[in-house]
């Protein structure tokens, strides 16, 4: 009976160790992926350009961000918003990050 208990204890210990070791690379890689997402250069993206134009136009006419757009991809929405923010703040196309 004690042999079976020891065997089960070892199997459980190995399973827990494998789970901890297997999860460590995922936890370490995740912040790096977030940092990589924030370093995009959207300046040539058509949605960035559209956002830049609309941001400049809103700034020139003292308007708030009133147009609502629906994008198929999250990446397109991010590009548009970054362009809009740069345009609305009065920055030029070459002055991004």
Rounded mean pLDDT of 33-54? 79
Match 């708030």 to its residue by tokens. 64
Residue ranges of domains in the chain: 1-39, 46-95
Rounded mean pLDDT of 38-45? 79
Residue 41 pLDDT more than 90? no
Considering the entire predicted model, what is its pTM? 0.52
Helix intervals (H) in the chain: 2-38, 46-60, 74-88
Residue 86 pLDDT more than 60? yes
Assign 21 a pLDDT band (cuts: 50, 70, 90): low
């Amino acid at each position: 009976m004690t042999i079976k208990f020891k065997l089960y204890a070892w199997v459980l210990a190995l399973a827990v160790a494998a789970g901890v070791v297997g999860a460590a690379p995922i936890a370490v890689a995740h912040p790096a992926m977030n940092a990589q997402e924030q370093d995009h250069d959207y300046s040539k993206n058509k949605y960035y350009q559209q956002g830049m134009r609309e941001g400049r136009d809103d700034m020139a006419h003292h308007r708030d961000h009133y147009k609502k757009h629906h994008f198929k991809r999250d990446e397109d929405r991010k590009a548009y918003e970054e362009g809009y923010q740069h345009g609305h703040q009065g920055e030029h196309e070459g002055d991004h990050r």
